[in-house]
Structure 1
Amino acid sequence: MNRRQALRLLAGAALCPCCIERAAAESAHWSYEGDTGPAKWGDLDAASKTCAIGSQQSPIDIGGTVKAQLPALKINWTKRADTIVNNGHTIQLNFPEGNTLLLGDAKYRLVQLHFHRPSEHLVAGKNFAMEAHFVHRAESGALAVIGVLMTPGKPNAAFTRITATMPGAEGPAVKADPAIDPNALLPAKHGYYRYPGSLTTPPCSEIVEWLVLTTPISVADADIARFAKLYPMNARPAQKDNRRYVLQSI
């Protein structure tokens, strides 16, 4: 294991916290372009084979949806981020115990938040400037990820704080600014699209309940540009929906 890989493991690396496959996936270098880009992820190692052969891969282009009486997202985030890390793939904030999401009878805890540019999910063929992923984990190991689409416009104080304090180079996690409130990165309305999918990075495990909010948030152009200096493109292309229904809350 080289220094780069070791740093990723120490930082909580990649975008798959708490997955049992994480260590295996992290031993194989992957990226967003070239010979280790998304088209090649399934060939990296046995643990990442699902990236190529899976039938419920994410992200997707959200087109036609089915309106449904979905459970409200009961978000209870009272604890601020513990650490922030540049893990070589994105900027990620890691959270302590105490932040929860209730989805019907299922309870999850917020593990981490990270960002993609441009958005990974598309809506009716359109992508957005960025996308935030709030990764929650249940005791069973299942994940529920809230996706928040981001558009340029009015500044968002929380995102401004993140871009102002994010590490400029890959390395170990450092203490996060306590002023960063994850709740401030949510829109006022929590209507959402829901579908079964996967992690959007190796090993692409199909263990994710996707909850993509229908209302985007606006963030400053300058803050998008700061993130883009580090990661001009870190989004997996849209995958086949394979006739999966996408439900939309009423």
Structure 2
Amino acid sequence: MKKNLLCAAMLFASCSAFAAEQHVHWDYSGDKGPENWAKLTPEFGACAGKNQTPVNLTGFIQADLKPLKFNYKVGGSQILNNGHTVQVVYDAGSNVVIDGVEYELKQFHFHAPSENEIKGESYPLEGHFVHADKNGNLAVVAVMFKEGKANPVLETLWAHLPAKEGDKIALTPAHNALDLLPKNHAYYRFSGSLTTPPCTEGVRWIVMKKPVFVSKAQIDAFKKVMGHDNNRPLQAVNAREILE
């Protein structure tokens, strides 16, 4: 399961354990849309689970959340379009420390509009920074983008936007993901899942409280490349606690 979880987080990148899933087409609308993901194949059964992401973050429980420690180095070396999102592949050597455990940054990607909501507010863009510890346990750091001034980091990334599914473009020079995070690292936390099939649960979700800015032109550029919204609908919180 740990291997499968990590492979899924890498969005099926060269993982033989997920060969079957690669042949199961899923989408964000129609017969293969989110409401039917769990029915497409038994391997997607978790999509009907009780601890799914995204959620509306509200009803917070006060908790003693320890500060996050980001140890990000320059490592975003390739940007690709997999048909479901635009993803930046990250070289080894960068991590975030959560509760004393190091989670290595594997990749980051984007959803428009946002998948999670904060107190009922949706954002035009959300970034997911996907990490894994040495045992394959996953942690996703989510950053909300609010429409406003142009984002200088996205400006350089978007200069290499892969226009077609399957396109991969080298990033020269490589990028530092830390530059996309808000300066204030206050966060919410909850237990959830991957937001795409196989929707595996047991993922640690860290949602940054403060958004960063993105321009309308940058939002529109991403949407034009994707050609469709790529956000999964909100899922029930059920018995979970959302900590702040």
Q: Is the TM value for this pair above 0.5? A: yes
What's the offset of the Cα at 1:236? 0.2
What's the offset of the Cα at 1:69? 1.1
2:54 corresponds to: 59
Check the 8 A contact 1:146/1:212 in 2, yes or no.
yes
- Which of 152, 165, 171 is the matching residue for 2:166? 171
Q: Does 2:28 match 1:42? A: no
Check the 8 A contact 1:22/1:203 in 2, yes or no.
no
Query: Which SS does the other structure have where 2:224 is aligned?
Result: helix
Percent of counterpart pairs with the same letter?
Answer: 40
1:198 corresponds to: 193
Structure 2 CA distance for aligned equivalents of residues 65 and 42 of structure 1: 29
1:3 corresponds to: none
Check the 8 A contact 2:72/2:177 in 1, yes or no.
yes
- Which of 103, 109, 117 is the matching residue for 1:108? 103
1:23 corresponds to: 19
Structure 1 CA distance for aligned equivalents of residues 153 and 215 of structure 2: 11
Q: 1:20 to 1:246 in 2, by over 3 A?
A: farther
The gaps in structure 1 that reach 5 residues or longer are 1-11
Structure 2 CA distance for aligned equivalents of residues 110 and 18 of structure 1: 17
Instruction: Please give the per-residue CA displacement for 1:141-171, whole angstroms capped at 9, x wherever unaligned.
Output: 1100000001111111111111221110011
One-letter amino acid of the counterpart of residue 187, structure 2: Y
One-letter amino acid of the counterpart of residue 193, structure 1: Y
2:210 corresponds to: 215
User: How do residues 53-92 of structure 1 correspond to structure 2 at under 5 angstroms?
Assistant: 54-92=49-87
What's the offset of the Cα at 1:246? 0.2
2:176 corresponds to: 181
Structure 1 CA distance for aligned equivalents of residues 224 and 120 of structure 2: 26
Check the 8 A contact 1:101/1:107 in 2, yes or no.
yes
Aligned residues: CA RMSD? 1.9
Normalising by structure 2, we get a TM-score of 0.91
Structure 2 CA distance for aligned equivalents of residues 13 and 110 of structure 1: 11
Check the 8 A contact 2:87/2:107 in 1, yes or no.
yes
One-letter amino acid of the counterpart of residue 219, structure 2: I
- Equivalences, count: 236
Q: Please say which of residues 169-178 and 187-196 is displaced more in the overlay.
A: 169-178
The gaps in structure 2 that reach 5 residues or longer are 1-7
